Structure 1
Amino acid sequence: MRLFDVLPDTFTCSFVLKACLKLSDVVNGKIIHGLFQKLGFGSNLFLQNMILNLYGLCGEMGDAMLLFEKMPQRDAVTWNIVIAQLVKRGEIDGAYGFFLRMPNKNVRSWTSMISGFVQCGKPKEAIDLFMKLEDEAVRPNEVTVVSVLAACADLGDLDLGRSVHEYSTKSGFERNVHVCNTLIDMYVKCGCLENARRVFYEMEERTVVSWSAMIAGLAMHGQMIKLGVKPNGVTFIGLLHACSHMGLIDEGRRFFASMTADYGVIPQIEHYGCVVDLFSRAGLLEEAREFILNMPIKPNGVVWGALLGGCKVHKNIDLAEEAIKHLSELDPLNDGYYVVISNIYAEAERWEDAARKTSGWSSITVNGVVHEFVAGDQTHPQAEDICKIWDKLLVKMKRRGYAPKTSVVLLDVEEKEKEKFLYRHSEKLAVVFGLMTTPEGTPIRIMKNLRVCEDCHAALKIISGMTSREIIVRDRNRFHCFRDGQCSCRDFW
């Protein structure tokens, strides 16, 4: 067309730019950009937005920012393009800066930022922003709902999750399979298995993600179901995870073997990690080690971490030291592994070998406010009251047979001092706060960043029976549902 000296108009440029976008062809995009500037189309907002989007999609953010600042006019699309591209690149602070500058935010702007916070591991910020969205009377769409539910799942904010579920139903979003899948995941991670199951059975259409989310949820809660559809790789992760947490060694072996033989699913690193976890929990530590060494793909930190966890349960120092040697190279910034090896050394009374320890924390959401506790926490406004109630509770617990398991304390101090440390573990503080601030008979839901220690596990079983409360703790491995003096994990975790 150009060879025949036919001048393009704005429509011509828009179609060529669409072609550049589909091909991610930024070189020709820049030529078109230069051409429409020469032809006097520089004030055409539609074309400007298209070239801005092309630069962003192709990673030319320097050119995109330059164009944005020079644009004579901007609309909501312009701002949303920049925010979305910065979110996609993980530049969440930069995206939020543009979001705050944006004059007329629409639902897409809010959704991009909420989704961005969730993706970068900031669920609290995502929920805070959602609350502001409601104050602005902006109506959330299905994408917004999916993002907020994901944040609720990460934080364990069941109240907001239920509220968003009600909104979804009123808005007719229950037919959206993505919304339903995220609802299942949210309820599972908040410990409400029956709600997850109800959403699952009410779905008009289910995908393999729906089935896999439900299976993974049942696995987290120590249960299994029979599956009537062809499973995929994610499904097998849920099945192997279930076998691991229920101690079903032979079944786990069969599932792993049938993946490729019966379903043509090639095992990935996650599947190998589940099998190592299965063997390690059951005390088959040497078999787990041989399995790792014979893997056709390089083991990662999760695989060696599963073996380390088994060494903790079964008190195998030699294999634990081998595992930590690999973990210090594969995942050196993960302090959780050093906590585990520290516990192993402490139980063996090798105090000088006890490694550095990261603080455990637990959180509980009460009336929409997240309260966080760390071990030995005295900073909470109600810390004094929490300690007083714990002391009274402790007297009754000891009458019911509670005996502090001081071997989990990593300090070479007197037994009485060790007991004091135990009594201020973060999950105990969070549970007492829950008893103080929530109505009698209602469940107490705790989120914890580390594995629940043996002493806290024993204590929470007794507290659940004494107070007639269901206590649900989600630690880094699984759910523990304490009810009437028992735990759903059957003391196998």
Structure 2
Amino acid sequence: MQKAGVVVDEVTMVSVVSAVGGLGTLNVGMWVHAFIKKNRIVMDVKLSTAIIDMYAKCGCIEKAKAVFDEMAAKDSRAWSSMIVGFAIHGYADDALTTFANMEESQVKPNDVAFLGVLLACAHAQLVSEGQKHWASLLESGRQPSMEHYSCMVDLYCRAKLFEKAYTFIKNMPIDPDPVIWRTFLVACKKNKNLEKGELAGHKLLELEPYNPENYALLSSFYATCSEWSKMSHMRKLMRDKGFKTIPGCSSIEVDGTVHEFVLGDWSHPELKEIREVLSDMLKRVSSLGHKSNVSEVLHDVSDDVKEEALCEHSERLAIAYGILKTKAPVVIRVVKNLRVCSDCHEVTKIISRVYAREIVVRDRVRFHRFVDGVCSCNDIW
């Protein structure tokens, strides 16, 4: 479009900014934002909201907040984008404060605003606060969506209120969708609740018999509960149906280029250097007494093999590359397609401390900001 000499406007840039947010490439996003300013493109409410959303999805909530604060007028979409941004970054108090300010500004909360505030409560295990906002949603006359119900189930599950979560699901006026049952199954997996987990797993297979993710999740659930025969049965079902699991994939942007790493893939041209950093990372982490959580490797193999597999998780490869190619105070930003496992989460906390680096990891659920051995999620995810 630029080569053709066509002048871009705010409508064009909304689409461009949204695309950048989907990729999570902060450097490109900052360039696009600078392009908008340089060309004096009108920063209307829609474009400003898109930029807020983009910065939030790129892991830079501070820049999102700066754009939000500069807006002369804010509609419900702008407010809700900021609330959701705070929520996915683990800043529950900021999300709740922004929601309260939205109401004080006489802007009626939309469905996304309620979704954001419930998400914030779930991520921070604020059960009473979440119940209060759920009641407010119902009193507003709005019809809760499946996503709202899912947030409440997530809230109870994170707080380990399994019976309350199960009762909530059973009493829903609409049939629970696969996302809700998956949320419940993941919680059962974390707490090795075999009875309720099997129930959720069977519901999933009924609703989505052709979704490989359901079989993989149920298989890993059985492995976590050391039900190896049942795990093998699920693996056999997957093979018989020709299902394949999605491999863990993490990406990191360095000097404008996005580098992707996949579990067990050693094809990167700087493999030797990456291995050296990985080795140094392992030594430093082990010297502080960290013991690998081998239960995260869902195969009936020796602990040594499991520890080796954990070291090859895609986010560790991406973080190692970030340490190799950048220096502090540059933030290491990683985007992962799956949830971060508990061992990688613990290891990344240690890495942030021993290397004195800020690390931001965006997984499929939320953002984790690691600074000096502490994560913004407070170990709740």
Q: TM-score, normalised by structure 2?
A: 0.90
- The aligned amino acid for 1:485 is G
Equivalent of 2:163 in 286, 307, 319: 286
Who is 1:380 aligned against? 268
Q: Distance in 1 between matches of 2:212 and 2:142?
A: 34
**Secondary structure at the residue paired with 2:195?**
helix
User: Cα–Cα, structure 1 residues 384 and 351, in superposed 2: closer, same or farther, change >3 Å?
Assistant: farther
Partner of 2:15: 147
Structure 2, unpaired ranges of 5+: 236-244
Match 2:289 to one of 401, 405, 408: 401
The alpha carbon displacement at 1:137 in A equals: 4.9
d(CA) in 1 for partners of 2:210, 2:67: 38
Alignment of 1:25-424 (within 5 A): 133-223=1-91, 224-226=95-97, 227-228=100-101, 229=103, 230-261=108-139, 263-354=140-231, 355-356=234-235, 357-424=245-312
Q: How far apart are 1:489 and its partner, in Å?
A: 0.5
Higher relative contact order (CA closer than 8 Å, sequence separation 6+): 2
Tell me the distance in 2 between the aligned counterparts of 1:267 and 1:305: 19
3-state SS of paired residue (1:283): coil
Match of 1:451 in 2: 339
TM-score (norm 1): 0.70
CA RMSD of aligned residues (A): 1.7
Q: What per-residue deviation string (whole Å, max 9, x for no partner) do you get for residues 16-66 of structure 1?
A: xxxxxxxxxxxxxxxxxxxxxxxxxxxxxxxxxxxxxxxxxxxxxxxxxxx
Greater alpha carbon shift after TM alignment, 293-302 vs 166-175: 166-175
Write the distance in 2 (CA, Å) between the matches of 1:433 and 1:265: 47
Once the two structures are superposed, residues 59-106 of structure 1 have per-residue CA deviations (whole angstroms, 9 ceiling, x without a partner) of: xxxxxxxxxxxxxxxxxxxxxxxxxxxxxxxxxxxxxxxxxxxxxxxx
CA 136–466 in structure 1, closer or farther in 2 if over 3 Å, else same: farther
Aligned to 1:486: 374
Alpha carbons of 1:225 and 1:295: their partners in 2 closer, same or farther (altered >3 Å)?
closer
Provide, for residues 293-352 of structure 1, a one-character-per-residue CA deviation record: whole Å limited to 9, x for no partner. Answer: 111112111111211121122221222221122222334454444443333222222233
- Measure how far apart 1:138 and its partner are: 4.2
In the aligned structure 2, how far is the partner of 1:321 from the partner of 1:374? 30
Looking at structure 2, the residues matched to 215 and 290 of structure 1 have their Cα atoms a distance apart, in angstroms, of: 28
Unaligned runs of 5+ in 1: 1-132
Q: 1:135: how far off?
A: 4.9
| Matched residue count | 360
C-alpha distance in 1 between matches for 2:345 and 2:149: 28
- When Rg is computed on C-alpha atoms for both structures, the one with the higher figure is 1
Determine helix, strand or coil for the equivalent of 1:175. coil
Distance in 1 between the 2:84 and 2:141 partners?
21
Which whole-Å CA distance do the structure 2 matches of 1:338 and 1:362 have between them?
23
Q: 1:139 offset after TM fit, Å?
A: 3.6
Distance of aligned partners of 1:352 and 1:134 in 2 relative to their CA distance in 1, 3 Å threshold: farther
State the distance in 2 between where 1:412 and 1:255 align.
44
